[in-house]
Chains A and B, each alone.
Chain A
C-alpha cells in the first residue's frame, strides 16, 4: 500500500473542507455568577450570532435557553457565594445546513441536575399556576438535545439546537 493510505486520507479531508462553507467557531468566556454575568453572556451569544449573519428568528431559542440555564445557576447554584463564576462555551457552526449551535455551561456550585426537576403542570389556571421549573421545561422543549453531567466537581450542562424556525 506504501503511501497510498495517507494520500487517500488527505484527499478525503480536503474534500470535507471544500464542502464546508466555513469552520465552526467556539468562544469561551467566564462570567461572574451575577445578573451582570448573565447579561454579559447573553450579549456575547447575540454578538456571535449577528457576526455570522444569522437572524434572531432562528437564534432566539438558544438565547432564551442560555438565560434560563444561567438564571438557574446564579439564583440557585451560586446564590450568596462570593466570587462564584460560570464558564460558558459557545459553538456556532454555519458551515452546515441548517446552522448549528451548542452551548456548554459549567459551574462549581453544589451538585444539581436541573433535568431531574419534575415538569410543571401547564394546565392549571392563573391562580394556581406554578412558575418554578418553567424555565428548564422551556429549555427541554426548545432544544434538540440537552445533557447534564457532574465532572471534576462541576455541574456541566450542554444544550444544542439546529437553527431552524421553531414549530410550536
Chain B
C-alpha cells in the first residue's frame, strides 16, 4: 500500500493505494492520526485506488470518524469501488459515514475554503 496526500485549501485528501489489510493499515492509521493531531479538521479519504479493505482498515476509518465527529470538523469518503463498498456495507459501516462518488463531490461536501 502507498499513501498519496493532497491539500486542497484547508482540506486534506488522503488516498491509500493498494490493499488496506491487517499489516498495511497500521501505516494508514499513523498518517491519519498524525494529520489530525497536527490540526487537520476537514479530511477526505479517497479510496479509488484501494484494491480491498479488511476489518483492520475499517478500524482506521472508525477512528477517524470518532475524532472528526464534532463540526466544523468533517470526514468524507469517496471513490468506493465494489469491494470497498461491499465490505463497508456488510460491516454495517455505510450509515456511519458521509460518502460521495468522486473527489470533487467529496471536496464540495466537506466544505472549508476549497471552492
Instruction: Classify the interface of chain B: helix, strand, loop or mixed.
Output: helix
Residue B92 lies at the interface, judged by CB distance under 8 Å to chain A:
yes
Of B16-24, B41-49, B103-111, the segment with at least 4 beta carbons within 8 Å of chain A is B16-24
**B91 close to A (CB within 8 Å):** yes
User: How far does the Cβ of A132 sit from chain B's closest Cβ, in whole Å?
Assistant: 9
Select which of B21, B66, B90 is within 8 A of A42 by beta carbon: B21
| B residues contacting the other copy or chain, number (CB 8 A) | 27
Which of these, A60, A127, A141, contacts B90 with CB under 8 Å?
A: A141
Tell me whether chain A's interface is mostly helix, strand or loop, or mixed. helix
The reply to whether B52 and A64 contact each other, CB–CB distance below 8 Å, is yes
Q: How far is the CB of A122 from chain B (nearest CB, A)?
A: 3
- Residue of B22, B56, B82, B91 with most partner-chain A CB within 10 A: B22
**Contact residue among B56, B85, B87 (Cβ-Cβ distance under 8 Å from A71):** B56
Which residues of B have CB within 8 Å of A125?
96
Q: Which of B22, B59, B83, B96 sits near A60, CB closer than 8 Å?
A: B83
| A165, B86: Cα distance in complex, Å | 10
At the interface, yes or no: B2 with Cβ under 8 Å from chain A?
no
- Knowing A60-B51, A131-B55, A134-B91 touch, does A67 contact B62 (C-beta < 8 A)? no
Which of A68, A141, A165 is within 8 Å of B54, CB to CB?
A68
Q: What range describes how many residues of A lie at the interface?
A: 20 to 34
Report whether B62 and A38 are in contact in the complex, using a CB–CB cutoff of 8 Å. no
When the two chains form their complex, are residues A131 and B58 in contact, meaning their CB atoms are under 8 A apart? yes
A52, CB-defined interface residue at 8 Å: no
Tell me, in angstroms, the Cα distance from A73 to B103 when the chains sit together: 37
On whether the beta carbons of B91 and A39 are closer than 8 Å, the reply is no
Check if A131 sits within 8 Å of B90, measured CB to CB.
no
* Interface flag for B65 (CB, 8 Å): yes
Could you tell me the distance between the alpha carbons of A35 and B26 in the complex, rounded to whole angstroms? 11
A101 within 8 A of B: no
Q: Spell out A's residues near B (CB within 8 Å).
A: 35, 38-39, 42, 56-57, 60-61, 63-64, 67-68, 70-71, 75, 122-123, 125-127, 129, 131, 134-135, 137-138, 141-142, 165-166, 168
By a beta-carbon cutoff of 8 Å, the part of chain B in contact with chain A is 19, 21-23, 51-56, 58-59, 62, 65-66, 69, 82-83, 85-87, 89-93, 96
